[in-house]
Amino acid sequence: MMKGETISAVLPIRAGSQRVLNKNTRPFGPYPFGLTELKIKQLLRVKALDEIVVDTDVPEITDILDRLKGAGEDVSSIRVERRDPKFAGSSTSTDDLIKHIAPKIKTKHVLWTHTTQPFADDRVLTKAIDLYVESLNSGFDSLMSVTSLKTFIWDQSGPVNYSRKAEKWPRTQTLPEWYIVNSAVFITNVDTMKIIGDRIGEKPYYYVLDHFQGLDIDEERDFLFAESIARSRTT
């Protein structure tokens, strides 16, 4: 970070999951406490972070931290904020959660990440902070990670990102570049978060991740696919 300025990470973790049962804490590859254990370990390796705020209603969070501590990890930078039950339901909007968490942040800047991008590791997060600092000097006010998309996109009326009148099947390299927000990392000034109630400002810098780094676990098949990759990388 810039000299004299501080940054914390926010890791929101909800106990319930509708599409992937217990996705945050069920075993994932070599990690007994799953995606939560993995993401916390990744965050602990990001040297630029002053604090890691885990906002959660997950009852196993104490066991997870005890396991990490027993394995020699320094968990002193982690602050657990027990989530109010009214913000722990599946009906809670992201907007409401941001407004709920923002007042808890004590640093000037905040990096918001999730457990569900297991391959957005400490190197990805460290680079995100570096790019965020650089982007502030270039007129941007925040950063979010995206995945580039260059393919044929249609809706019910036909193609939306190219014209078949010009060319029915253009080369994909010539198509306009679209971006998918993969939710691996958002960084902004905490004051911005409090004022506009968002994880990004009005002009975010796009940090482009490859499809592997930006992989998002949203369904059971995503979990199984990601787990098979995680297992192969540790054998």
Element (H, E) at 196: helix 190-196
Q: Which among 31, 12, 14 has a CA at the least distance from the CA of 223? A: 31
Query: What are 183-193's pLDDT values in tens digits?
Result: 999 999 999 99
Distances (CA, A) of 99 to 142, 193, 196: 17, 8, 9
Which amino acid is located at 132 in the chain?
Y
CA torsion angle for 45, 49, 54, 55 (degrees, to 10)?
Answer: -150
Q: In what order do the strands lie in the sheet with 142-149?
A: 78-82, 51-56, 7-13, 109-113, 178-189, 142-149, 204-209
Domains present along the chain, CATH in parentheses: 7-140+182-200+216-232 (3.90.550.10)
Give the three-state DSSP class for 69. Answer: helix
Taking only the tens place, the pLDDT of each residue in 88-129 is 777 789 999 999 999 999 999 999 999 999 999 999 999 999
* Confidence check: pLDDT of 152 > 90: yes
User: What CA–CA distance (Å, rounded) separates 109 from 96?
Assistant: 19
Q: What is the pLDDT of residue 33?
A: 94
Three-class secondary structure of residue 81 per DSSP: strand
pLDDT of residue 48: 96
Contact call for residues 120 and 212 (beta carbons, < 8 A) = no
Q: What is the pTM of this model?
A: 0.93
Band of residue 212 on the pLDDT scale cut at 50, 70, 90: very high
CA dist 174 and 208 (Å) reads: 18
Using a 10 angstrom Cβ sphere, with 0-12 exposed, 13-18 middle and 19 or more buried, the burial of residue 141 is middle
Side chain identity, residue 108: K
CB atoms within 10 A of CB 61: 21
**Helix segments in 45-181, DSSP class H:** 61-70, 94-101, 122-136
Give SS3 for 70.
helix
pLDDT at residue 234 in the model: 60
